[in-house]
Amino acid sequence: MTPDFDDDIRDFYIHERGWPVERRCIAGHPVMLHYRDVPESDITTLHGIRLTTPLRTIIDIAPDLSIDHLEIMVRDCLERRLFTVEEALARMRQPDMVDDPGAAMLWHLLRSR
């Protein structure tokens, strides 16, 4: 369900995994802004807007998805060449991913392919 917000309404809360989230409406579109430190390698720019790479987005939202939905999203990303299995496995081997629940889910999914 998409939240329905007026342009001047903002809602702040702490995500269950500990980072701040702001729900707001920008140019008539509801958005959720997650505030979390991520390395520059996980950031890209699309139409002048800085956002996380598809791989980082998958890692971040994986714990909120069913394994079936995660598999569909990963397959779509792989088919669209947004990242490769090798890139994903290399990213998840980095120290900041050791305790990340989304990285663990994605690691298991990709290793079972």
Of 65, 46, 44, 45, whose CA–CA distance to 55 is shortest? Answer: 44
> What pLDDT is recorded for position 16?
76
Least confident span in 1-5, 21-25, 38-42:
1-5
Q: What is the distance between the alpha carbons of residues 100 and 76, in angstroms, rounded to a whole number?
A: 22
Residue 96 DSSP symbol:
G
Residue whose tokens read 């939905």: 69
The answer to whether residues 92 and 106 touch, using CB atoms and an 8 Å cutoff, is yes
> pLDDT tens, 35-82?
888 899 999 999 888 889 999 999 999 998 999 999 999 999 999 999
Residue 99 sits at φ, ψ, to 5 deg, of -105, 10
> What pLDDT is recorded for position 19?
77
Extents of the domains making up the chain: 1-36, 42-111
What value does the mean pLDDT of the chain take?
87
Output 110 or 1, whichever has higher pLDDT: 110
